[in-house]
A and B are shown apart, each in its own frame.
Chain A
Amino acid sequence: MNGLETTRKETKLKKKGSVPQANVPSGPLLKRKMAFEGTPLSGKDFEQGKVLFTTYKPKLAYAWDTGRAIGRYLQGLKEGRLLGVRCRHCDRTVIPPRAFCERCFRPIEEWVQLQDRGVINTFSISYVRWDAVRLEKPTLPAVIDIEGTSPRVGILHLLGEVDPKQIKVGMKVKAVWKAASERIGAITDIQYFKPE
Protein backbone atom coordinates (compact mmCIF):
# COMPACT_ATOMS: atom_id res chain seq x y z
CA MET A 1 0.00 0.00 0.00
CA ASN A 2 1.43 3.39 0.80
CA GLY A 3 4.58 2.05 2.36
CA LEU A 4 5.26 -0.26 -0.55
CA GLU A 5 4.72 2.45 -3.14
CA THR A 6 7.22 4.69 -1.44
CA THR A 7 9.65 1.84 -1.41
CA ARG A 8 9.19 1.29 -5.14
CA LYS A 9 9.82 4.92 -5.98
CA GLU A 10 12.92 4.99 -3.89
CA THR A 11 14.18 1.85 -5.56
CA LYS A 12 13.77 3.39 -8.99
CA LEU A 13 15.78 6.40 -8.02
CA LYS A 14 18.64 4.37 -6.71
CA LYS A 15 21.45 3.39 -9.04
CA LYS A 16 22.64 -0.19 -9.25
CA GLY A 17 24.99 -1.09 -6.45
CA SER A 18 24.02 1.80 -4.22
CA VAL A 19 23.62 0.92 -0.55
CA PRO A 20 21.50 0.22 1.34
CA GLN A 21 19.34 -1.86 -1.00
CA ALA A 22 15.62 -1.56 -0.45
CA ASN A 23 13.96 -4.80 0.55
CA VAL A 24 11.74 -5.32 -2.51
CA PRO A 25 11.01 -8.76 -3.94
CA SER A 26 12.79 -9.28 -7.26
CA GLY A 27 11.95 -11.52 -10.24
CA PRO A 28 8.55 -12.11 -11.83
CA LEU A 29 6.67 -10.59 -8.90
CA LEU A 30 8.22 -7.19 -9.53
CA LYS A 31 7.06 -7.21 -13.18
CA ARG A 32 3.44 -7.70 -12.15
CA LYS A 33 2.20 -4.24 -11.26
CA MET A 34 -0.45 -5.91 -9.09
CA ALA A 35 2.10 -6.71 -6.40
CA PHE A 36 2.28 -3.09 -5.31
CA GLU A 37 -1.34 -2.09 -5.59
CA GLY A 38 -3.89 -2.41 -2.87
CA THR A 39 -6.66 -0.86 -0.83
CA PRO A 40 -5.88 1.37 2.13
CA LEU A 41 -6.96 -0.10 5.47
CA SER A 42 -9.43 1.58 7.77
CA GLY A 43 -10.09 1.08 11.47
CA LYS A 44 -13.34 -0.64 10.54
CA ASP A 45 -11.44 -3.34 8.64
CA PHE A 46 -9.75 -4.28 11.90
CA GLU A 47 -12.99 -4.12 13.89
CA GLN A 48 -14.77 -6.34 11.35
CA GLY A 49 -11.98 -8.91 11.40
CA LYS A 50 -10.99 -8.34 7.74
CA VAL A 51 -7.42 -8.00 8.92
CA LEU A 52 -6.10 -10.86 11.00
CA PHE A 53 -4.42 -10.03 14.26
CA THR A 54 -3.98 -11.48 17.73
CA THR A 55 -4.57 -9.70 21.00
CA TYR A 56 -3.39 -10.54 24.49
CA LYS A 57 -4.25 -8.86 27.73
CA PRO A 58 -1.46 -9.14 30.29
CA LYS A 59 -2.30 -10.27 33.81
CA LEU A 60 0.85 -8.91 35.41
CA ALA A 61 0.73 -7.97 39.09
CA TYR A 62 3.39 -7.10 41.66
CA ALA A 63 3.63 -6.44 45.40
CA TRP A 64 6.98 -4.83 46.19
CA ASP A 65 8.66 -5.23 49.57
CA THR A 66 9.31 -1.72 50.83
CA GLY A 67 12.10 -2.87 53.13
CA ARG A 68 13.51 -1.10 56.16
CA ALA A 69 14.08 2.44 54.86
CA ILE A 70 11.04 3.00 52.68
CA GLY A 71 8.87 1.01 55.08
CA ARG A 72 9.69 3.45 57.88
CA TYR A 73 9.21 6.40 55.51
CA LEU A 74 5.70 5.22 54.66
CA GLN A 75 4.95 4.64 58.35
CA GLY A 76 6.00 8.27 58.94
CA LEU A 77 3.65 9.50 56.22
CA LYS A 78 0.80 7.62 57.88
CA GLU A 79 1.63 9.49 61.07
CA GLY A 80 1.76 12.80 59.20
CA ARG A 81 5.53 13.14 59.44
CA LEU A 82 8.21 13.51 56.79
CA LEU A 83 11.21 11.35 57.68
CA GLY A 84 14.65 11.62 56.16
CA VAL A 85 18.06 10.15 56.89
CA ARG A 86 21.46 11.70 57.41
CA CYS A 87 24.81 10.31 56.23
CA ARG A 88 27.35 11.58 58.75
CA HIS A 89 30.27 10.69 56.51
CA CYS A 90 29.04 12.76 53.55
CA ASP A 91 27.21 15.31 55.73
CA ARG A 92 24.10 14.83 53.59
CA THR A 93 20.48 14.75 54.69
CA VAL A 94 18.23 13.07 52.17
CA ILE A 95 14.64 12.14 51.52
CA PRO A 96 13.21 9.62 50.70
CA PRO A 97 15.23 7.66 53.26
CA ARG A 98 17.64 4.91 52.27
CA ALA A 99 19.46 2.21 54.24
CA PHE A 100 22.84 3.13 52.78
CA CYS A 101 24.51 6.17 51.24
CA GLU A 102 24.92 5.79 47.49
CA ARG A 103 27.88 8.21 47.56
CA CYS A 104 30.16 6.70 50.23
CA PHE A 105 28.47 3.24 50.32
CA ARG A 106 28.25 3.21 54.12
CA PRO A 107 25.10 2.17 56.01
CA ILE A 108 22.92 5.06 57.21
CA GLU A 109 21.53 4.79 60.73
CA GLU A 110 20.59 8.37 61.61
CA TRP A 111 16.94 9.37 61.11
CA VAL A 112 15.68 12.93 61.10
CA GLN A 113 12.19 14.37 61.12
CA LEU A 114 11.92 17.07 58.48
CA GLN A 115 9.58 20.03 58.12
CA ASP A 116 6.72 19.36 55.70
CA ARG A 117 7.65 22.40 53.67
CA GLY A 118 10.20 23.37 51.07
CA VAL A 119 10.84 25.32 47.87
CA ILE A 120 9.92 24.46 44.30
CA ASN A 121 12.96 23.18 42.39
CA THR A 122 11.11 22.67 39.11
CA PHE A 123 7.52 22.22 37.96
CA SER A 124 5.40 21.56 34.92
CA ILE A 125 1.87 22.52 33.93
CA SER A 126 0.43 19.29 32.60
CA TYR A 127 -2.48 19.58 30.18
CA VAL A 128 -2.53 15.91 29.26
CA ARG A 129 -3.73 13.20 31.64
CA TRP A 130 -1.90 9.85 32.05
CA ASP A 131 -4.30 8.28 29.51
CA ALA A 132 -3.66 11.04 26.95
CA VAL A 133 -6.96 12.87 27.63
CA ARG A 134 -6.70 16.66 27.21
CA LEU A 135 -7.31 18.55 30.48
CA GLU A 136 -9.09 21.86 30.86
CA LYS A 137 -7.67 22.31 34.34
CA PRO A 138 -3.99 21.33 34.31
CA THR A 139 -2.27 19.23 36.99
CA LEU A 140 0.90 20.60 38.54
CA PRO A 141 3.71 18.09 39.16
CA ALA A 142 6.71 19.58 40.92
CA VAL A 143 9.94 18.65 42.67
CA ILE A 144 10.00 20.23 46.12
CA ASP A 145 13.35 20.66 47.84
CA ILE A 146 12.44 19.85 51.44
CA GLU A 147 13.62 22.23 54.14
CA GLY A 148 16.52 20.83 56.12
CA THR A 149 17.82 18.50 53.41
CA SER A 150 21.06 18.87 51.46
CA PRO A 151 20.98 20.92 48.25
CA ARG A 152 19.01 19.38 45.39
CA VAL A 153 17.22 16.79 47.53
CA GLY A 154 13.48 16.76 47.37
CA ILE A 155 10.37 14.78 46.71
CA LEU A 156 8.20 14.66 43.65
CA HIS A 157 4.60 15.63 44.31
CA LEU A 158 1.76 17.80 43.02
CA LEU A 159 0.94 21.47 43.64
CA GLY A 160 -2.55 22.70 44.56
CA GLU A 161 -4.51 25.76 45.68
CA VAL A 162 -2.42 27.86 43.31
CA ASP A 163 -2.95 29.69 40.04
CA PRO A 164 -0.59 28.04 37.53
CA LYS A 165 0.46 31.47 36.34
CA GLN A 166 1.70 32.37 39.81
CA ILE A 167 3.97 29.34 40.29
CA LYS A 168 7.68 30.15 40.30
CA VAL A 169 10.90 28.22 40.79
CA GLY A 170 12.04 28.96 44.33
CA MET A 171 8.47 29.49 45.62
CA LYS A 172 7.91 28.36 49.23
CA VAL A 173 5.30 25.62 49.60
CA LYS A 174 3.80 23.53 52.40
CA ALA A 175 2.26 20.04 52.49
CA VAL A 176 -1.51 19.62 52.68
CA TRP A 177 -2.16 16.28 54.39
CA LYS A 178 -5.13 13.99 54.21
CA ALA A 179 -7.06 13.52 57.44
CA ALA A 180 -5.29 11.09 59.81
CA SER A 181 -8.12 8.56 59.43
CA GLU A 182 -7.64 8.50 55.66
CA ARG A 183 -3.86 8.07 55.63
CA ILE A 184 -2.66 4.60 54.64
CA GLY A 185 1.14 4.91 54.57
CA ALA A 186 1.58 6.06 50.97
CA ILE A 187 2.98 9.08 49.18
CA THR A 188 -0.62 10.08 48.47
CA ASP A 189 -1.12 10.66 52.22
CA ILE A 190 0.03 14.14 51.26
CA GLN A 191 -2.67 15.57 49.00
CA TYR A 192 -0.47 18.27 47.46
CA PHE A 193 1.80 21.18 48.33
CA LYS A 194 0.41 24.72 48.40
CA PRO A 195 2.07 28.12 48.57
CA GLU A 196 2.86 29.26 52.10
Chain B
Amino acid sequence: MDRRVAVIGIGTTGFRAASPEVSYREMIYEAAVKAYSDAGLAPDQIGSFIACSEDISEGTSIFDEYCPDQIGGARRPVHSVSGDGLHGIITAAMNIQTGLFETALVECHSKVSNCIDPVEIMNYALDPIYNRPLGEHPEFIAGLEMRRYLYESKAQPKDCAAVVQKNRAHALKNPWAAYPANLELEEIQDSPATFDPLREIDRAHHADGASVVILASADWVKKNRVKNPVWVKGMGWISEDPGLEMRPWGRSIATQKAAKMAYKQAGIRSPRSEIDFAEVDDTYSYKELQHLEDLWFFPLGGAAKAVRSGLTRSDGKFPVNVSGGCLGMGNAAEASGLQRVLEIVTQLRGEAGVRQLKRVRQAVAQSWRGIPTTSCAVAVLSKGVNS
Protein backbone atom coordinates (compact mmCIF):
# COMPACT_ATOMS: atom_id res chain seq x y z
CA MET B 1 0.00 0.00 0.00
CA ASP B 2 1.56 3.29 -1.14
CA ARG B 3 0.06 6.14 0.89
CA ARG B 4 2.03 9.00 -0.60
CA VAL B 5 -0.30 11.76 -1.79
CA ALA B 6 -0.42 13.76 -5.03
CA VAL B 7 -2.45 16.65 -6.41
CA ILE B 8 -4.27 15.35 -9.49
CA GLY B 9 -6.72 18.15 -10.26
CA ILE B 10 -7.09 21.92 -9.86
CA GLY B 11 -9.76 24.47 -10.63
CA THR B 12 -10.30 28.14 -9.87
CA THR B 13 -12.56 31.01 -10.78
CA GLY B 14 -9.64 33.38 -10.45
CA PHE B 15 -9.90 36.32 -8.07
CA ARG B 16 -11.68 39.64 -8.52
CA ALA B 17 -12.65 42.61 -6.37
CA ALA B 18 -16.33 41.62 -6.21
CA SER B 19 -18.60 38.98 -7.73
CA PRO B 20 -22.19 40.27 -7.62
CA GLU B 21 -23.26 38.15 -10.61
CA VAL B 22 -22.90 34.82 -8.78
CA SER B 23 -23.84 33.38 -5.41
CA TYR B 24 -21.09 31.67 -3.41
CA ARG B 25 -22.63 28.35 -4.49
CA GLU B 26 -22.42 29.22 -8.18
CA MET B 27 -18.88 30.57 -7.77
CA ILE B 28 -17.65 27.41 -6.01
CA TYR B 29 -19.46 25.20 -8.53
CA GLU B 30 -17.43 26.77 -11.33
CA ALA B 31 -14.13 26.00 -9.55
CA ALA B 32 -15.28 22.45 -8.72
CA VAL B 33 -16.39 21.66 -12.27
CA LYS B 34 -13.00 22.84 -13.54
CA ALA B 35 -11.15 20.69 -10.98
CA TYR B 36 -13.18 17.58 -11.83
CA SER B 37 -12.57 18.18 -15.51
CA ASP B 38 -8.84 18.69 -14.89
CA ALA B 39 -8.61 15.46 -12.88
CA GLY B 40 -10.87 13.53 -15.27
CA LEU B 41 -13.05 12.52 -12.33
CA ALA B 42 -16.70 12.56 -11.35
CA PRO B 43 -17.88 13.52 -7.84
CA ASP B 44 -18.73 9.91 -6.96
CA GLN B 45 -15.06 9.03 -7.34
CA ILE B 46 -14.08 11.35 -4.47
CA GLY B 47 -13.68 9.67 -1.10
CA SER B 48 -13.56 12.65 1.26
CA PHE B 49 -14.58 16.29 0.87
CA ILE B 50 -13.00 19.12 2.86
CA ALA B 51 -14.16 22.73 2.87
CA CYS B 52 -12.27 25.56 4.58
CA SER B 53 -14.35 28.44 5.87
CA GLU B 54 -15.04 30.72 8.82
CA ASP B 55 -18.65 31.06 9.94
CA ILE B 56 -18.22 34.71 10.84
CA SER B 57 -16.97 35.61 7.35
CA GLU B 58 -19.91 33.77 5.79
CA GLY B 59 -22.47 35.25 8.18
CA THR B 60 -23.91 31.76 8.75
CA SER B 61 -23.38 29.55 11.78
CA ILE B 62 -22.34 25.94 11.14
CA PHE B 63 -21.50 26.88 7.57
CA ASP B 64 -20.39 23.25 7.13
CA GLU B 65 -24.00 22.46 6.26
CA TYR B 66 -23.88 24.74 3.23
CA CYS B 67 -20.66 23.31 1.77
CA PRO B 68 -21.56 19.94 0.16
CA ASP B 69 -23.87 20.71 -2.81
CA GLN B 70 -21.56 22.90 -4.87
CA ILE B 71 -18.55 20.55 -4.59
CA GLY B 72 -20.42 17.36 -5.48
CA GLY B 73 -20.41 16.30 -1.84
CA ALA B 74 -24.16 15.98 -1.17
CA ARG B 75 -24.81 12.78 0.80
CA ARG B 76 -21.05 12.08 0.97
CA PRO B 77 -18.38 12.34 3.69
CA VAL B 78 -17.81 16.10 4.08
CA HIS B 79 -16.26 18.14 6.85
CA SER B 80 -15.10 21.70 7.31
CA VAL B 81 -11.77 22.97 8.49
CA SER B 82 -11.65 26.32 10.18
CA GLY B 83 -8.23 26.93 8.70
CA ASP B 84 -6.34 28.12 5.65
CA GLY B 85 -6.43 26.28 2.32
CA LEU B 86 -3.08 24.69 3.17
CA HIS B 87 -4.60 23.28 6.37
CA GLY B 88 -7.27 21.84 4.06
CA ILE B 89 -4.62 20.24 1.80
CA ILE B 90 -2.88 18.78 4.84
CA THR B 91 -6.18 17.43 6.20
CA ALA B 92 -7.01 15.86 2.84
CA ALA B 93 -3.57 14.27 2.60
CA MET B 94 -3.95 12.80 6.09
CA ASN B 95 -7.45 11.52 5.19
CA ILE B 96 -5.86 9.63 2.29
CA GLN B 97 -2.96 8.42 4.43
CA THR B 98 -5.36 6.72 6.81
CA GLY B 99 -6.15 4.29 4.01
CA LEU B 100 -9.84 5.03 4.33
CA PHE B 101 -9.96 7.11 1.14
CA GLU B 102 -8.11 6.95 -2.19
CA THR B 103 -9.11 10.48 -3.20
CA ALA B 104 -10.04 13.73 -1.47
CA LEU B 105 -11.22 17.18 -2.55
CA VAL B 106 -10.43 20.52 -0.90
CA GLU B 107 -12.51 23.67 -1.45
CA CYS B 108 -11.85 27.26 -0.36
CA HIS B 109 -13.56 30.45 -1.32
CA SER B 110 -13.90 34.11 -0.45
CA LYS B 111 -17.04 36.22 -0.68
CA VAL B 112 -15.52 38.95 1.42
CA SER B 113 -17.28 41.54 -0.78
CA ASN B 114 -20.49 40.43 0.98
CA CYS B 115 -19.14 41.50 4.39
CA ILE B 116 -20.24 45.08 4.94
CA ASP B 117 -17.44 45.68 7.43
CA PRO B 118 -14.53 43.23 7.10
CA VAL B 119 -12.55 45.24 9.66
CA GLU B 120 -15.15 44.38 12.30
CA ILE B 121 -14.68 40.70 11.48
CA MET B 122 -10.94 41.12 11.93
CA ASN B 123 -11.57 43.00 15.16
CA TYR B 124 -13.67 40.09 16.35
CA ALA B 125 -10.52 37.96 16.37
CA LEU B 126 -8.93 40.13 19.08
CA ASP B 127 -9.16 39.10 22.71
CA PRO B 128 -12.43 40.62 23.95
CA ILE B 129 -11.13 41.45 27.44
CA TYR B 130 -7.47 42.39 27.00
CA ASN B 131 -7.36 44.02 23.59
CA ARG B 132 -10.72 44.85 22.01
CA PRO B 133 -11.79 47.47 24.59
CA LEU B 134 -8.93 49.70 23.41
CA GLY B 135 -11.09 50.33 20.35
CA GLU B 136 -8.24 50.35 17.87
CA HIS B 137 -8.45 49.44 14.19
CA PRO B 138 -6.98 45.89 14.37
CA GLU B 139 -4.46 46.45 11.60
CA PHE B 140 -2.25 48.36 14.03
CA ILE B 141 -0.96 44.85 14.74
CA ALA B 142 0.64 44.79 11.28
CA GLY B 143 2.30 48.10 12.15
CA LEU B 144 3.71 46.61 15.35
CA GLU B 145 4.97 43.51 13.56
CA MET B 146 6.49 45.48 10.70
CA ARG B 147 8.32 47.85 13.06
CA ARG B 148 9.89 45.00 15.01
CA TYR B 149 10.71 43.04 11.87
CA LEU B 150 12.46 46.04 10.26
CA TYR B 151 14.33 46.68 13.52
CA GLU B 152 15.60 43.10 13.79
CA SER B 153 16.32 42.46 10.12
CA LYS B 154 17.58 45.96 9.30
CA ALA B 155 15.36 45.83 6.22
CA GLN B 156 14.08 49.22 4.98
CA PRO B 157 10.52 50.31 4.13
CA LYS B 158 11.95 50.69 0.62
CA ASP B 159 12.53 46.91 0.52
CA CYS B 160 8.89 46.35 1.40
CA ALA B 161 7.97 48.73 -1.43
CA ALA B 162 10.06 46.54 -3.74
CA VAL B 163 7.94 43.53 -2.70
CA VAL B 164 4.78 45.45 -3.64
CA GLN B 165 6.29 46.46 -6.96
CA LYS B 166 7.43 42.91 -7.76
CA ASN B 167 4.19 41.12 -6.86
CA ARG B 168 1.84 43.60 -8.53
CA ALA B 169 4.02 43.32 -11.66
CA HIS B 170 3.98 39.50 -11.49
CA ALA B 171 0.18 39.71 -11.46
CA LEU B 172 0.26 41.34 -14.91
CA LYS B 173 0.99 37.91 -16.35
CA ASN B 174 -1.62 36.08 -14.28
CA PRO B 175 -5.19 36.05 -15.63
CA TRP B 176 -6.39 34.87 -12.19
CA ALA B 177 -5.12 38.09 -10.53
CA ALA B 178 -7.39 40.97 -9.51
CA TYR B 179 -4.82 43.70 -8.86
CA PRO B 180 -2.06 43.74 -11.50
CA ALA B 181 -0.13 47.00 -11.76
CA ASN B 182 3.03 48.56 -13.08
CA LEU B 183 4.17 50.74 -10.20
CA GLU B 184 7.22 52.92 -9.65
CA LEU B 185 9.08 52.48 -6.37
CA GLU B 186 8.66 56.19 -5.67
CA GLU B 187 4.87 56.13 -5.90
CA ILE B 188 4.73 53.10 -3.61
CA GLN B 189 6.88 54.92 -1.07
CA ASP B 190 4.62 57.95 -1.37
CA SER B 191 1.58 55.88 -0.40
CA PRO B 192 0.08 57.34 2.79
CA ALA B 193 1.01 55.73 6.11
CA THR B 194 -1.84 53.81 7.73
CA PHE B 195 -0.23 52.16 10.74
CA ASP B 196 3.28 53.51 10.41
CA PRO B 197 5.63 52.06 9.24
CA LEU B 198 2.86 50.29 7.27
CA ARG B 199 1.57 52.19 4.24
CA GLU B 200 -1.79 51.86 2.54
CA ILE B 201 -0.18 50.11 -0.43
CA ASP B 202 1.67 47.55 1.73
CA ARG B 203 -1.61 45.78 2.36
CA ALA B 204 -3.25 43.34 -0.05
CA HIS B 205 -6.74 44.30 -1.22
CA HIS B 206 -9.63 41.94 -0.54
CA ALA B 207 -10.83 39.68 -3.32
CA ASP B 208 -13.61 37.18 -4.06
CA GLY B 209 -12.93 33.82 -5.67
CA ALA B 210 -13.07 30.06 -5.28
CA SER B 211 -10.49 27.33 -5.71
CA VAL B 212 -10.71 23.54 -5.61
CA VAL B 213 -7.91 20.96 -5.45
CA ILE B 214 -8.28 17.18 -5.84
CA LEU B 215 -5.73 14.80 -4.30
CA ALA B 216 -5.17 11.05 -4.58
CA SER B 217 -3.02 8.28 -3.14
CA ALA B 218 0.04 6.97 -4.99
CA ASP B 219 -1.81 3.68 -5.46
CA TRP B 220 -4.62 5.51 -7.19
CA VAL B 221 -2.21 7.58 -9.30
CA LYS B 222 -0.45 4.42 -10.53
CA LYS B 223 -3.63 2.47 -11.14
CA ASN B 224 -5.20 5.29 -13.14
CA ARG B 225 -1.95 6.27 -14.87
CA VAL B 226 -2.23 9.96 -13.92
CA LYS B 227 0.05 11.83 -16.32
CA ASN B 228 1.09 14.84 -14.29
CA PRO B 229 0.77 14.24 -10.54
CA VAL B 230 2.34 16.79 -8.19
CA TRP B 231 3.39 15.15 -4.95
CA VAL B 232 2.78 16.53 -1.49
CA LYS B 233 6.16 15.60 -0.04
CA GLY B 234 6.09 17.48 3.23
CA MET B 235 3.52 19.16 5.46
CA GLY B 236 3.75 21.27 8.60
CA TRP B 237 1.41 23.42 10.60
CA ILE B 238 1.94 25.31 13.84
CA SER B 239 0.00 27.70 16.05
CA GLU B 240 2.11 29.95 18.22
CA ASP B 241 1.21 32.08 21.24
CA PRO B 242 -2.14 33.77 20.62
CA GLY B 243 -1.56 36.66 23.02
CA LEU B 244 -0.41 40.00 21.65
CA GLU B 245 1.56 40.53 24.84
CA MET B 246 3.89 37.57 24.58
CA ARG B 247 4.89 36.96 21.01
CA PRO B 248 8.28 37.66 19.44
CA TRP B 249 6.78 40.14 16.89
CA GLY B 250 9.86 40.24 14.66
CA ARG B 251 9.83 36.62 13.55
CA SER B 252 7.22 34.05 12.55
CA ILE B 253 8.15 31.17 14.83
CA ALA B 254 5.11 29.25 13.56
CA THR B 255 6.53 29.39 10.03
CA GLN B 256 9.98 28.31 11.25
CA LYS B 257 8.60 25.28 13.05
CA ALA B 258 6.05 24.35 10.37
CA ALA B 259 8.81 24.55 7.75
CA LYS B 260 11.10 22.30 9.78
CA MET B 261 8.28 19.79 10.11
CA ALA B 262 7.60 19.82 6.37
CA TYR B 263 11.27 19.75 5.34
CA LYS B 264 11.95 16.78 7.61
CA GLN B 265 9.14 14.79 5.96
CA ALA B 266 10.35 15.80 2.50
CA GLY B 267 13.99 14.96 3.33
CA ILE B 268 15.10 18.52 2.60
CA ARG B 269 18.34 19.59 4.29
CA SER B 270 19.20 22.72 2.38
CA PRO B 271 15.94 24.51 1.53
CA ARG B 272 17.48 27.26 -0.62
CA SER B 273 19.27 24.84 -2.95
CA GLU B 274 16.62 22.11 -3.00
CA ILE B 275 13.60 24.35 -3.57
CA ASP B 276 13.21 26.08 -6.94
CA PHE B 277 10.55 28.68 -6.14
CA ALA B 278 8.04 29.63 -3.45
CA GLU B 279 4.52 30.97 -3.03
CA VAL B 280 4.35 32.57 0.42
CA ASP B 281 1.96 34.75 2.36
CA ASP B 282 2.28 38.44 1.49
CA THR B 283 -0.92 39.83 3.01
CA TYR B 284 1.36 42.71 3.99
CA SER B 285 4.54 43.42 2.04
CA TYR B 286 6.91 42.90 5.00
CA LYS B 287 5.32 39.47 5.58
CA GLU B 288 6.89 38.12 2.38
CA LEU B 289 10.36 39.10 3.59
CA GLN B 290 9.74 37.76 7.09
CA HIS B 291 8.25 34.49 5.83
CA LEU B 292 11.09 33.86 3.38
CA GLU B 293 13.58 34.11 6.22
CA ASP B 294 11.50 31.98 8.55
CA LEU B 295 11.19 29.35 5.81
CA TRP B 296 14.99 29.12 6.16
CA PHE B 297 15.65 30.38 2.62
CA PHE B 298 17.63 33.41 3.81
CA PRO B 299 19.29 34.55 7.03
CA LEU B 300 17.67 37.43 8.93
CA GLY B 301 17.97 40.47 6.64
CA GLY B 302 18.71 38.30 3.63
CA ALA B 303 15.24 38.53 2.10
CA ALA B 304 15.51 42.33 1.79
CA LYS B 305 18.79 41.95 -0.07
CA ALA B 306 17.20 39.31 -2.29
CA VAL B 307 14.27 41.49 -3.32
CA ARG B 308 16.59 44.46 -3.84
CA SER B 309 18.83 42.45 -6.19
CA GLY B 310 15.91 40.97 -8.16
CA LEU B 311 16.68 37.43 -6.98
CA THR B 312 13.01 36.82 -6.08
CA ARG B 313 11.61 38.22 -9.34
CA SER B 314 10.07 35.80 -11.86
CA ASP B 315 13.27 36.10 -13.93
CA GLY B 316 15.52 35.80 -10.87
CA LYS B 317 17.24 32.72 -9.48
CA PHE B 318 14.67 32.16 -6.75
CA PRO B 319 11.23 33.37 -7.88
CA VAL B 320 8.80 34.22 -5.09
CA ASN B 321 5.08 34.74 -5.65
CA VAL B 322 5.31 34.54 -9.40
CA SER B 323 1.49 34.35 -9.24
CA GLY B 324 1.40 37.89 -7.92
CA GLY B 325 0.76 36.75 -4.36
CA CYS B 326 -1.94 38.35 -2.27
CA LEU B 327 -0.68 41.81 -3.20
CA GLY B 328 -1.18 41.10 -6.90
CA MET B 329 -4.00 38.54 -6.91
CA GLY B 330 -5.94 39.90 -3.95
CA ASN B 331 -6.46 38.55 -0.46
CA ALA B 332 -9.12 35.86 -0.78
CA ALA B 333 -8.95 34.61 2.81
CA GLU B 334 -8.73 30.80 2.98
CA ALA B 335 -8.67 30.57 -0.81
CA SER B 336 -5.33 32.42 -0.92
CA GLY B 337 -3.54 29.42 0.60
CA LEU B 338 -5.14 27.02 -1.84
CA GLN B 339 -4.30 29.35 -4.72
CA ARG B 340 -0.60 29.00 -3.83
CA VAL B 341 -0.96 25.24 -4.34
CA LEU B 342 -2.74 25.87 -7.65
CA GLU B 343 0.08 28.13 -8.83
CA ILE B 344 2.77 25.62 -7.87
CA VAL B 345 0.92 22.73 -9.54
CA THR B 346 0.44 24.83 -12.69
CA GLN B 347 4.15 25.72 -12.75
CA LEU B 348 5.38 22.18 -12.04
CA ARG B 349 3.14 20.79 -14.78
CA GLY B 350 4.53 23.38 -17.21
CA GLU B 351 1.08 24.85 -17.84
CA ALA B 352 1.71 28.41 -16.64
CA GLY B 353 1.89 29.97 -20.11
CA VAL B 354 3.48 33.43 -20.20
CA ARG B 355 4.58 33.22 -16.57
CA GLN B 356 6.03 29.70 -16.84
CA LEU B 357 9.25 29.25 -14.87
CA LYS B 358 12.02 27.18 -16.44
CA ARG B 359 13.43 23.95 -15.00
CA VAL B 360 11.38 23.82 -11.84
CA ARG B 361 10.92 20.54 -9.93
CA GLN B 362 10.07 21.41 -6.34
CA ALA B 363 8.43 24.33 -4.54
CA VAL B 364 7.15 25.50 -1.17
CA ALA B 365 3.75 26.97 -0.29
CA GLN B 366 3.33 28.84 3.01
CA SER B 367 0.31 30.43 4.63
CA TRP B 368 -0.43 32.68 7.57
CA ARG B 369 -3.92 32.96 9.05
CA GLY B 370 -3.75 36.75 9.12
CA ILE B 371 -4.26 39.30 11.88
CA PRO B 372 -4.05 38.69 14.82
CA THR B 373 -2.91 35.07 14.49
CA THR B 374 0.44 33.39 14.68
CA SER B 375 -0.79 30.27 12.88
CA CYS B 376 1.05 29.10 9.79
CA ALA B 377 1.12 26.12 7.46
CA VAL B 378 3.77 24.92 5.01
CA ALA B 379 3.69 22.35 2.21
CA VAL B 380 6.46 21.04 -0.04
CA LEU B 381 5.21 20.11 -3.50
CA SER B 382 7.27 18.16 -5.98
CA LYS B 383 7.10 16.99 -9.58
CA GLY B 384 8.75 13.65 -8.96
CA VAL B 385 8.26 11.30 -6.03
CA ASN B 386 12.01 11.26 -5.46
CA SER B 387 13.16 14.67 -6.72
List residues of A whose CB falls within 8 A of some B CB: 54, 56, 58-71, 98-100, 102-103, 105
Contact = CB atoms under 8 A, between A and B. Distances in A.
Nearest to B121: A60
Contact of B117 (A61, A64, A65, A71): A61
A105 B59 contact: no
Given A60-B56, A66-B23, A68-B22, A102 B114 contact: no
A100 B43 CA distance: 13
Interface residues of B, number: 35
A60 B120 contact: yes
Contact of A102 (B21, B69, B121, B129): B69
20 contacts: A54-B128, A54-B133, A60-B121, A61-B116, A62-B114, A62-B115, A67-B23, A67-B27, A68-B21, A69-B23, A69-B26, A70-B23, A98-B25, A99-B25, A99-B26, A102-B69, A102-B70, A102-B72, A102-B74, A105-B32
B191 to A, nearest CB: 28
Contacts of A70: 23
**Interface hub of B36, B69, B113, B132 (most chain A Cβ within 10 A):** B69
Contacts of A68: 21-23, 26
A70 B32 CA distance: 20
Contacts of A64: 23-24, 59, 111, 114
Contacts of B21: 65, 67-68
B29 A100 contact: yes
Nearest to A100: B29
Nearest to A60: B120
A65 B19 contact: yes
B26 A67 contact: yes
Contacts of A103: 74
B110 to A, nearest CB: 12
B159 to A, nearest CB: 36
Contacts of A59: 117, 120
B33 interface: yes
A172 to B, nearest CB: 30
B40 interface: no
**Interface hub of B19, B29, B132 (most chain A Cβ within 10 A):** B29
Given A65-B19, A68-B26, A102-B74, A60 B117 contact: yes
Given A56-B128, A60-B121, A105-B43, A99 B29 contact: yes
A56 B129 CA distance: 9
Given A62-B115, A64-B23, A99-B29, 8 more contacts: A60-B117, A63-B116, A64-B24, A67-B24, A68-B22, A68-B23, A68-B26, A105-B36
Nearest to B33: A105
Contacts of B26: 67-69, 99-100
